[in-house]
Structure formats: C-alpha cells, structure tokens
Amino acid sequence: MKETNGTGPVIALVGNPNVGKSTVFNALTNLRQHTGNWPGKTVETARGVYTYHDRTYTLVDLPGTYSLHPGSAEEEVTRDYLRGGEADVTLVVADATCLERNLALVLQVLEVTWPVVLCVNLLDEAEKKGIRVDLNVLSEELGCPVTGAAARGGRGLDALRQVLEDTVRRPGSPPECPAGSACRECGECEECRTALLMARASALAAKATDMDRERASRRDRKLDRLLTSRGTGIPVMLLLLAGILWLTMVGANVPSEKLSELLMGLQEPLRGAFQALGAPWWLEGALVDGVYRTVAWVVSVMLPPMAIFFPLFTLLEDAGYLPRVAFNLDHFFKRAGAHGRQSLTMCMGLGCNACGVMGCRIIQSPRERLIAILTNAFIPCNGRLPTLTALIAMFFVTGSGLWSSFASAALLMGCIVLSVAVTLWASRFLAGTVLKGESSSFSLELPPYRAPQVGQVLIRSILDRTLFVLGRAVVVAAPAGLLIWIAANVTIGGESILLHLADFFQPLGGLMGLDGMILLAFLLGFPANEIVVPCILMGYLSTGSLTEYGSLSELHGLLAAHGWTAATAVCALVFTLFHFPCGTTCLTVFRETKSIKWTAAAVLLPTAVGVGACILIHLCCILF
C-alpha cells in the first residue's frame, strides 16, 4: 500500500464539475475548501486529511472533468494524476439528478485505475425531483462499491468513510471491461470506446434510475424562462447586479465610518508609544503616519463593502445563477472573438481583479484565456467602488435619502455597463490583432438551481474571499504607505518630492482634464486603489500624511476650491474606471502568463483607453 509522507492511504476525488465534489472534500476533511455552483470551480488539486478508526487518510481533490480525454488544463491534470498511480482508491462523485452523463466518466475511470468507489451525491435533490436511484443495481453492473450521499446535509458520509476503508483493505478485482460485452467483442476497441461508453452509461442510468422527467425539470425550466430568455435574461441580470451594488453602497457606509473611527483612534496611542520609547521623529512619522495610517485607511474603506458584496455575490453563485450569466452574455463575447466563460471571470473581477485573473484558468483556449486576463482590469474592482461612489454622490446625485441612494446605484450600474462594453471592445481588438485565431466552442453546463447554504456562504465568503483579498491589500499597502510618507515629507529645493512629481505630471493631467496631483494620486494608489482620494487630499492640503474627509460635502468644497468642475469629475470618473490594475493584480497576471510582455500589456491597455477617453472628453468640453 502506498503512503504519502506517513499520512496514510491516498484517495483521489474525481467527478464532473458541479456534482458536489468539493462539498464532499470539505465534509470529510473539514478544510472548508470554497465550493461554488458553476463548472470549473476547482482548477488545481487540493489536499486534505481525515481520520477514521484511528487511521489517517489523504484526500486529493482533483479538478472537475467531463472526460479523461482532456480538452482543458484541469482535465489533463486529472487524467495524468490517475494514470500516475499515486492513489490507493479513486472516489468518483456523481450527481444523482443527471446520472447518465456522470456514468460516462465513471466508466472511463474504471478503464485506467482500480480500485474505484462511486459516491452518488445529491440524493436529497434527486428525491425532491422524483428521481430514485438503485445503488445496488449500479454496484452490480459496474463491479465496484457504490454508496449514496447528500453531502451538504452530512447524509451518507459515515457510510462513505466505511466503504473507503473497506476498499483500501480489500480492493478486490477490477471488472474485465467497463463498457461491457460489446467492447470485449470489438477488435477496434480504441476507435469505438467513446460510443460504447456513452451507450453503456445510458443503459446503466436507465436500469438504475426511476424518474418523473416532467417533475424533475419543471422548476428549473420555469426559472430559466425568466433568467435566460432573450426578453428578460439581460434586464433581470442588470437588476440583480444593481441590487447588489445598492446594498453594498448603503450597507457599507456606517460600518466603514465606525471602523475608521476605531482604527484612526489607535493612531495617537501608537504615536505615544513611539515617543515613550524615544524613537526619532522620522521613524515615528514613517511608521505611524505612513505605514499604519495607510493600512488603517485601506482596511476601513475596503473591509465593509467586501463583507457585503462577496457574500451576496457568493449566494448567486451557490444558487447556480452565474452560469446563466455566462449563457446570457455568450453571444456578445462570441461576437467579440472571446470565450463565453470570460463573463464569469469578469464577474469575479467586480470583487477583485486578481481573483478574476486567476479565474481565467477555467477557459481552455490559451488565446482566449489571455484575452480574458488582459481585459479583466476594465471591470472596476471593489477597491475602485469607493472612489466611484464618492464622485457620483458629490457631482452627479445631490441630496440624501432613499431616492438618492437608488439614483447613485443606478449611475454606478451604468458605469459598470460601460466597462463591460469597453471590455467587449478591447477583447475584439485583441482578437483581431495580436491574438488572432479561431474561436473555440463554448460548452458550459447549466447546473440545477439550489437553495444556497446561507450560513456556510456567509462564513466562507468572508474567510476565503474577503479576508484573503484584504490580507493581500494590506501587505501591499504597508510599504506603499512608507513611500507616500517619504514623498510627502522629504523636500528638495524647499518643496516636497510629492509636489515636484505633481508638477511633472501637470502637462499630461491638464490635457486629460485633470491635474498633476490627481494623476499622481492614481500612481500612488497603484498598491491599493482605495487610497486615491486620500492621496489627492494629502497633496492639496500638504499635510504630509493621508487625509480623511469629514463628509462628502466638505470634500466637494475642497475639490471645488482646487479647480474641480463637473467636467473634471467626469474625467476622474472615467479614469477611475479605466486605468492600470493594482499591484496585486499585476503580480497575478505575471504569475498566470509567466511573461513580462503580457503583464505590461495588461497595464498599458486599460491605461491607454483611460488616457485617450479623458483627452477626448476634455477636448469636447472645451469645444462645446
């Protein structure tokens, strides 16, 4: 029996996308790997361990795959791992609600490895749809152990652990040919295997399941008529996104204010501690006014909206809606020469562009994956939303109350629609120039609708996404705060480095309808987009550290006193939408592409669009 560094028998976890494979992994190992209700969720292997009857087992969660004849990077990983023979047992997870498609993969797995255990998951959903699965018939026909489960509710997991233990101890003999007698009689088995396996899978499913087909798909068909039809699919999608943005904007105001008061209130005690230790003024200023103040600002501005946006977004994902978004937008991306799955990575970019770039792994075609990576920064991430909402509230939506908040959300939604349109244009530009090639076919399963696990979604979206993204932002913001403090406090010729840099950028800033200080603030915001507005205030007021604003009305008055007009606000809004991605995203692009050239392209493409658009807007304002 194989051992993995003393961690016991190895169990490989295999299955089609969206069958609850990661949920089984989480339930067995308690690692709580993030789960989602859309295909391609797992794009790398994950390992965990669990103990049963005083024995430790290593569980390897392999990428979801429809076939062992790979058409994507994740499918290739799964095939190569199984053929490598590292696993003592291969656990195949199948969806009880659509067993026929899943059995085709089971038969392929039986061809290349042994022993195999089949776990028929989602039995609870199958029962709601009037589907009954005879596990004994499946076991007899396949020649391998079969067990049932409803992993989200914990049902059947003890039986699964016992079956895995029994299989490790007594693996038995593999069946002669998974495709049945027809394959054994065929002299050209390699050529006919796929057809025979599909026929065998269909026959097995028919023999082992009993269902009311009308009842099984009735609810999903009704919902799809609303969510994916030509007349209502796009409007409903926009309304859902607008609702999420409105809840994020309204709900984050008070928590952001309270968190800012708490964190900024710790600044003086921290300063007192440095003074008590006799630290020199420059060390105190650099660490307290530079590093700590920048980090505190990023946390207070970034954490509350992320803690609202990510759970709401994850609820839609868990319910099975995100694949419908890809279905609705597939036509637009196909016309742009891109891949329909890019819409999923684009949605991820709303939370964090770095996450969106990593999500591009679900696109099989290297060319189309690169298009998605290079254009993800056109979608405004969570870090740019505070700047966008502040500009909208100060210059475009006046007053307060429920109506104003709805109007602000609608205008913000318009900005995102504009960013999607520019993303499609940029994708078309790349597909027609430097990344020419044939568009690949788009096959994406529309999973059944499921009631989200609200409690788990809230916990996991905060731990796996919110705190993860926040942690990376803090790591980048800390050294940035030090550099900002140095630029604001070190003088050359009687003026700070900050003012010298602002003067340097003034010609370009003026041409764009902005000014040198605004452009410099965007550059200083490269580590974290949340600090753009504080950097503008720091430069205008010459405070030497990031500056808070008491209210939006006070901020509006300050900006107006420094020459801001409605035209300036429009240019600032556009450049907030379209400029270089943050440092974390750039690093992620480099890691995904392994290319300085493509990383530079990911920086220059949105920046060129933003600069060009601002110049055009400024010229139109002058002429008209």
pTM above 0.85, yes or no: no
Mean pLDDT in residue range 480-485: 85
Mean pLDDT in residue range 596-614: 96
DSSP single-letter state for residue 150: B
In tens, the pLDDT along 538-589 reads 888 888 777 776 677 888 888 999 899 999 999 999 999 999 998 888 988 9
Q: Structure tokens of 534?
A: 């504080």
Q: Assign 392 to helix, strand or coil.
A: helix
pLDDT of residue 184: 47
Alpha-carbon gap, residue 219 to 217, rounded angstroms: 6
Mean pLDDT in residue range 125-131: 83
Segment holding 369, helix H or strand E:
helix 366-375
Alpha-carbon gap, residue 406 to 493, rounded angstroms: 50
Residues 6+ apart with CB under 8 A from 324: 224, 227, 228, 233, 237, 446
pLDDT of residue 181: 45
The pLDDT confidence band at residue 444, using thresholds 50, 70 and 90, is low
pLDDT of residue 250: 76
Tell me the HSE value of 586 on the side-chain side, using a 13 A CA sphere.
Answer: 18
In tens, the pLDDT along 307-334 reads 888 788 778 877 888 788 888 888 888 8
The pLDDT confidence band at residue 23, using thresholds 50, 70 and 90, is confident
**Alpha-carbon Rg for the chain in angstroms:** 28
Residue 424, pLDDT > 90, answer yes
Mean pLDDT in residue range 5-11: 74
Burial of residue 554 (CB within 10 Å: 0-12, 13-18, 19+) is exposed
Tokens 């007021």 -> residue: 541
Between these two residues, 473 and 241, which has the higher pLDDT value?
241
Find the Cα–Cα–Cα–Cα dihedral 144, 150, 154, 157, rounded to 10°: 0
Tell me the HSE value of 562 on the side-chain side, using a 13 A CA sphere.
Answer: 19
pLDDT of residue 422: 96
Alpha-carbon gap, residue 75 to 91, rounded angstroms: 16
Alpha-carbon gap, residue 541 to 562, rounded angstroms: 10
CA distances from 573 to 306, 387, 617 (A): 21, 8, 11
In tens, the pLDDT along 156-195 reads 999 999 999 999 999 888 876 655 544 444 445 555 566 7
Mean per-residue pLDDT of the chain: 83
Beta bridge partners of 133: 209
pLDDT of residue 550: 63
Alpha-carbon gap, residue 227 to 319, rounded angstroms: 13
In tens, the pLDDT along 24-35 reads 998 888 865 544
pLDDT of residue 570: 95
pLDDT of residue 4: 45
Between these two residues, 576 and 479, which has the higher pLDDT value?
576
In tens, the pLDDT along 489-502 reads 888 988 889 999 99
Residues 6+ apart with CB under 8 A from 4: 10, 58, 86
Mean pLDDT in residue range 263-277: 89
CA angle at 147 for the pair 142 and 148, rounded to the nearest 5°:
120
pLDDT of residue 90: 94
Beta strands in 212-315 (DSSP E): none
Segment holding 263, helix H or strand E:
helix 233-265
Mean pLDDT in residue range 274-278: 90
Residue 3, pLDDT > 70, answer no
pLDDT of residue 194: 67
Between these two residues, 580 and 214, which has the higher pLDDT value?
580
CB 216, CB 133: distance < 8 Å: no
pLDDT of residue 31: 65
In tens, the pLDDT along 321-368 reads 878 888 888 888 888 888 878 888 888 888 788 888 988 887 878 899
pLDDT of residue 423: 95
Residue 521, pLDDT > 60, answer yes
> What DSSP string describes 505-517?
HHHHHHHTTS-HH
> What DSSP string describes 393-431?
HHHT--S-SHHHHHHHHHHHHHHHHHHHHHHHHHHHHHH
The pLDDT confidence band at residue 72, using thresholds 50, 70 and 90, is low
**b vs e for 493-509, b when ≥16 Cβ sit within 10 Å of the residue's Cβ?**
eeebebbebbeebbeeb
